[in-house]
A and B are shown apart, each in its own frame.
Chain A
């Protein structure tokens, strides 16, 4: 029987693949990678592209990842897949958008936070909730 290693492909949103494989093909930022069991420990970023897994018996499965990280240990290969296309300028753009949203919608954003007012307001809300709870208990008993 051929040697195998454990392969996991996970994204932040779900587990994509988990099982044993004879060989894994992936495209790293420095070039194509073909990984066999007992590969030296390696950590690299992945380019958007396909990941091919040759499972026991030679059957192959293909997955598409839009980038991510690849961790290799002698008998474990982990692919931390991105679900979004990542690039420095794209991230930058998203950050600026998030900031702009805050600036646009929140009028008095630079003013001092009113701790006393916030606490009073929250205390009131909590008291209301407790009152409702008490009323309910009383209604349940009668």
Chain B
């Protein structure tokens, strides 16, 4: 007999369900008085933070092209200099006026989600691989009918050169799918729609 490997198994995921907003954005769902504010509901950076202000707007569409009205979206990104506000960031300290994480429900009537943040800087691919990734924001989507959180990324339409050398985008074999990850810059607004299925199905990652 060989020795036993003592690894545990990761707890399996279950859908966030129709009432994820009770747990994650209770004030939004009408339950006030327990938490002062909904965690992650403010801008990702305050007014003193360095960098270019952007507003991200988008919808999450199902396989028939209907926008989800019960989804919850979280984002995570580097500051304007490409530093993460995390203890695992080993290259320096992120801008103290920048938090880096946000959480928003889709609008109950339209389904649109909105994030106010700053445009992230470029970050190294991995701790031991200094190749730069293009500016990007991690997106994580949960909702009723989604059994395990869907992870994707938004890149920027005004970063063509950086996008062209991004080591993650380079992994996408079907090159016509890369466009599903590019947020469309229109002034301060960046439009980024997520398609769960269909011709324009967004690229989702297992990372």
A and B bind? no
A-to-B contact residues, CB < 8 Å: none
B-to-A contact residues, CB < 8 Å: none
